[in-house]
Chains A and B, each alone.
Chain A
Amino acid sequence: MNGAVDVPPAATHRAPILLAPDPGPRLQALERQKLVVQDLRVCYRGLPALQGVSFSADVGQITAIIGSSGCGKSSCLLALNRLAELVPGSGVAGRVLLDGVDVLQPSTNLTTLRRRIGMVFQKPTPFPLSIERNIAFPLREHGVRGPEIAARVRRALVAVGLWSEVKDRLRSSALALSGGQQQRLCIARAIALEPEVLLLDEPTSSLDPAAAQRVEALLSELKTSYAIVVVTHNLHQARRIADRTAFFTLEDGVGTLVELDDTARIFAGARDPRTRDYVEGRFG
């Protein structure tokens, strides 16, 4: 497994769909990507839940992960910032390279890793604190001090378009915000830590259409600064915002990546018949 990057043929063998017929230059490009996932496998209590997942994500792109329920999309996301290991009996194998360094190594500093890879969940999870403290206290825990905190709180709220809505009530409870505002606060909380990768697990599925649209627009704005990976159930959403789309499916009860391509290709000319069936609504 080690040396997959150094020895191109091996990597080609592992992820056939991902790589162009000539693996040489493509692999070098891959190496420069912000996040590279190689042969990721996740199991719970010894039972495989996800296997054979290889893909990459880079700054300037939104990568969408689509697929029916239970095909390991969320497990994949949770493995990338090592949240999956919070689940008792879980196991993660393979390689997750962040700037070329494997974060699955035991020596990885999890605090730093999770600062560099931010995550937003399906259900908005504002903390029972004021709007300001929701963003400020994680900053403080990460060693940010002084006026820099207020500056970052403001910058993050401006970035998610919340500043004008909440600037007069920064000290009131975040729980009083609407669902869409709460979700944007959660995104602000993540980007205030200045991460490099942003993972979002169905970020709009608990929001009303208008709020969902705002979050989508926000993600399109944010992609210039972050490598964004978003899991979504909503095919239209993937089509609207994603530059590249990965299709996951269940194979013999185990989730796997079928193909990853430019979003337009996935929806208009997917190579794999299973992908075509799924995006045309024949199953899932």
Chain B
Amino acid sequence: MNATGARRDAWLTWTTRAGGVVAGALTLLVFVFLVGETLPLFLKIPPHHLFVDARWSPRDGEIGLVPMMVGSALVTLGAMVLSTPTGIAVAALSAFFAPRGVAVVLRGVLGILAGVPSVVYGLWGLTVLVPLIHAVRAPGVSLLAAILVLALMILPTMALLADATFRAVPVDEMRAATALGLSRCAAVLHVALPRARTGLVTASILQVGRAVGETMAIIMVMGNTIQVPKGPFEPARALTSHIALEMAYALGDHRRGLFAAGLLLLVVVVGLVALVDRIESRHRLIA
């Protein structure tokens, strides 16, 4: 009994270790691959050129990623500004205010929405949202359309993560707040929110990662013009869309420029994950 138990433990240890090594190696491999593909370009032009040059014209040797970086940053920022507070509000509704039955249904609906493929969100944006925006100001496909579609796409996951964080708030504390004669609202604002703060911050940072990496829904509604948009109604292009749209026919430095865009995305996402890790470990230290 003891011997088989120990053997099973050893098995489990080695299987999980192997899994960990494979996962780590794959990430490293992707990184090495991206660097390897980009390196020849960096040897030809200084790397910072990519991030200060606003012109993208590979045939003339202009490999500037600035318009796409601005596009990605703006669409991510806009989507986060819209979806983070809304997601937290929806989660508070389901965790603290809605009757149990309603909360269960709400959670189910959010789960389904979180599973809808991004291309479907893009389809909806293209057929419903873009014509509406077009009616206000042409062309319709725009930074604004991408922000709205992306915000809507991110909202369900944000709400589900926030809901899980809220439901981890100790019942004792909420009861103690009620025992002090506090309203539900006051208890949520002063007890649940501070208690859930770390969880909410990490959830929203993870959503930034998703927003930065989203491709399909954005391609469909953003217009994809290579330019720094001067307003929300102008079309723009994100880094992800840029790679997806041009990779099929890119050669030489053109191709390497796209790999550089991929490398940039990877660095951003790794940075975000590291940030989450840091926040969580600091939180553990305090708790």
**A interface vs B, CB < 8 Å?**
81, 83, 86, 88, 110-115, 118-119, 121, 123, 125, 127-129, 133, 137-138, 141-142, 173, 175, 186, 189-190, 193
A184 to B227, CA, bound (A): 62
Q: Could you tell me if B176 and A128 are in contact, using CB atoms closer than 8 angstroms?
A: no
Partner-contacting stretch, out of B65-73, B150-158, B183-191: B183-191
Q: Could you tell me if B194 and A138 are in contact, using CB atoms closer than 8 angstroms?
A: no
Min CB distance, A220 to chain B, in Å? 23
Q: Could you tell me if B183 and A127 are in contact, using CB atoms closer than 8 angstroms?
A: no
30 residue pairs bridging A and B, Cβ less than 8 Å apart: A81-B179, A83-B178, A83-B179, A86-B175, A86-B178, A111-B181, A111-B183, A113-B181, A118-B179, A121-B172, A121-B179, A123-B172, A125-B172, A125-B175, A127-B176, A127-B191, A128-B191, A129-B190, A129-B194, A133-B190, A137-B190, A138-B180, A138-B181, A138-B182, A141-B182, A141-B186, A142-B181, A186-B176, A190-B180, A193-B181
Chain B residues near A118: list those with CB within 8 A: 179-180
Min CB distance, B253 to chain A, in Å? 54
Min CB distance, B215 to chain A, in Å? 39
> Which one of A86, A115, A141 has the highest number of Cβ atoms from chain B below 10 Å of its Cβ?
A141
Chain A residues near B7: list those with CB within 8 A: none
A125 to B177, CA, bound (A): 9
Task: Given A111-B183, A121-B172, A141-B183, decide whether A127 and B190 contact each other with a Cβ distance below 8 A.
Answer: yes
Q: Could you tell me if B195 and A189 are in contact, using CB atoms closer than 8 angstroms?
A: no
Min CB distance, A231 to chain B, in Å? 14
Task: Given A88-B100, A121-B172, A141-B186, decide whether A128 and B195 contact each other with a Cβ distance below 8 A.
Answer: yes
Chain B residues near A123: list those with CB within 8 A: 172
Please report which residues of chain B, range 27-48, place their CB below 8 angstroms from some CB of chain A when the two chains form the complex.
none
Chain B residues near A113: list those with CB within 8 A: 181
Checking B100, B177, B178, B179 against A127 with a beta-carbon cut-off of 8 angstroms, the contacting residue is B177
Whether, in the assembled complex, B173 has its beta carbon less than 8 Å from a beta carbon of chain A, the answer is yes
> Which one of A110, A133, A138, A142 has the highest number of Cβ atoms from chain B below 10 Å of its Cβ?
A138
A193 to B179, CA, bound (A): 11
Q: How big is chain B's contact interface, by range?
A: 20 to 34
Checking A111, A125, A193 against B176 with a beta-carbon cut-off of 8 angstroms, the contacting residue is A125
Chain B residues near A189: list those with CB within 8 A: 180
Q: Which A residue sits closest to B287, measured CB to CB?
A: A175
Min CB distance, A88 to chain B, in Å? 7
Q: Which A residue sits closest to B170, measured CB to CB?
A: A125
Chain A residues near B195: list those with CB within 8 A: 127-128
Chain A residues near B287: list those with CB within 8 A: 175
Chain A residues near B173: list those with CB within 8 A: 125, 127-128
Min CB distance, B162 to chain A, in Å? 17
Q: Mark B88-107, 1 if CB is under 8 A from A, else 0.
A: 00000000000010000000
Q: Could you tell me if A121 and B176 are in contact, using CB atoms closer than 8 angstroms?
A: yes
Q: Could you tell me if B180 and A193 are in contact, using CB atoms closer than 8 angstroms?
A: yes
